[in-house]
Amino acid sequence: MLTIDELVKHHGPRAVLDRVSFEARPGRVTAFLGPNGAGKSSTLRVLLGLDRADGGRALVGGRPYRDLRAPLRTVGSMLDGSGAHRSRRARDHLAWVARSNGIPRRRVDQALAAVGLAEHARMRVGRYSLGMGQRLGLATALLGEPEVLVLDEPVNGLDPEGIRWIRGLLRGHADDGGTVLLSSHLMSEVAGLADDLVVIAGGRVVAAGGLAEVTAGHADLEEAFFALTDGGAR
Ligand SMILES: Nc1ncnc2c1ncn2[C@@H]1O[C@H](COP(=O)(O)OP(=O)(O)OP(=O)(O)O)[C@@H](O)[C@H]1O
């Protein structure tokens, strides 16, 4: 369960988050949608303890991220690709992350297999394609078998087969009772995957609810998105 409650964030005099509130619930895939610069990454950075809010709260299972005892075993995340150094081999990177979070070493190969990188485990990350880097980022998120997944633009760089694969993976996680929050600025990416939508524009939540609820009265998800975000130009 993720709870974002009246979150406020300023950069200089500008409010980039203006009392943002929503929930992402277990057993559901929640898509966090908005045009470029809407405030998606800013929200996720506060949620994951990478940035401080100027007001409000962001909670993972009822606690602020910084209070989690074993964060990667509670919430797996992916922001900005794999997070691994280019000179590192994928397996060594994951082993290091596992060690730092008290995660059993056997999880390294399991996570690599889960994202289809078992055969490239010893390759240096600098030689990975964009899509392979995304898969490694996901392996890192899955490493601690967390209940919650928070993914910023997870589909970036994936080919159609990769997109289909990640959809199945996230669907399976939610169907097993997990909580999935993923951000996207592309409607087509989340159509057919998300159960719930949160639409943000100009730092404010402009719609939130079930897929059918948010898209009611619009021809499709894309039409709803443009209507809710003033064509993404806000
Ligand atoms: N460190 C910073 N200093 C100043 N402004 C910032 C900073 N970080 C973000 N912003 C501004 O905050 C606003 C929200 O940015 P954010 O990255 O959260 O948007 P986003 O919805 O994730 O967009 P995108 O889809 O392009 O990733 C933008 O106008 C951005 O320029």
> For residue 117, how far is the Cα from the chain centroid?
20
Tell me the pLDDT band of 128, cut-offs 50, 70 and 90.
very high
Closest-CA residue, ligand 1 atom 17, reads: 41
Beta carbon of 9 within 6 Å of any ligand 1 atom:
no
Query: What would the pLDDT profile of 145-164 be if each residue is shown by its tens digit?
Result: 999 999 998 988 788 888 88
116: Cβ–Cβ under 8 A, 6 or more apart, which residues?
A: 135, 165
Residues 119-138: b if buried by 16+ CB within 10 A, e if exposed:
ebbeebbeebeebbbbbbbb
Task: Give the global pTM.
Answer: 0.93
Tell me the pLDDT band of 102, cut-offs 50, 70 and 90.
very high
Q: Reply yes or no on whether the pLDDT at 82 is more than 80.
A: no
Beta carbon of 185 within 6 Å of any ligand 1 atom:
yes
Beta carbon of 211 within 6 Å of any ligand 1 atom:
no
Closest-CA residue, ligand 1 atom 2, reads: 11
Strand-strand pairing, 148-152 and 75-78: parallel
Q: Reply yes or no on whether the pLDDT at 169 is more than 60.
A: yes
- CA 43 to ligand 1: nearest atom: 18
Q: Reply yes or no on whether the pLDDT at 233 is more than 60.
A: no
Closest-CA residue, ligand 1 atom 24, reads: 36
Q: Which residues pair with 76 in a beta bridge?
A: 149
Q: Where are the domains of the chain?
A: 2-74+148-231, 82-145
Query: What would the pLDDT profile of 1-33 be if each residue is shown by its tens digit?
Result: 999 999 999 998 889 999 999 999 999 999 999
How far, in Å, from the CA of 41 to the mean position of ligand 1?
Answer: 7
Q: 82 with 134: CB under 8 angstroms?
A: yes
Closest-CA residue, ligand 1 atom 9, reads: 42
CA 59 → CA 109, 172, 175, distances in Å? 30, 23, 22
3.30.420.40, 3.30.70.3340, 2.40.37.10, 3.40.50.300: CATH of 2-74+148-231: 3.40.50.300
109: Cβ–Cβ under 8 A, 6 or more apart, which residues?
A: 91, 118, 121
- CA 38 to ligand 1: nearest atom: 21
| Average pLDDT estimate for 85-111 | 94
Tokens of 22: 């929503």
Q: 184 with 32: CB under 8 angstroms?
A: yes
How far, in Å, from the CA of 57 to the mean position of ligand 1?
Answer: 19
Tokens of 19: 């009392």
DSSP 104: -
Indicate whether this complex's ipTM tops 0.95: no
Tokens of 62: 């009822």
Closest-CA residue, ligand 1 atom 4, reads: 11
Beta carbon of 107 within 6 Å of any ligand 1 atom:
no
Amino acid type, 184: S
Amino acid type, 126: G
How far, in Å, from the CA of 176 to the mean position of ligand 1?
Answer: 33
Q: Reply yes or no on whether the pLDDT at 186 is more than 60.
A: yes
With the most atoms of ligand 1 within 8 angstroms of its CB, the residue from 7, 9, 14, 41 to mutate is 41
167: phi then psi, degrees, rounded to nearest 5? -60, -45
How far, in Å, from the CA of 65 to the mean position of ligand 1?
Answer: 21
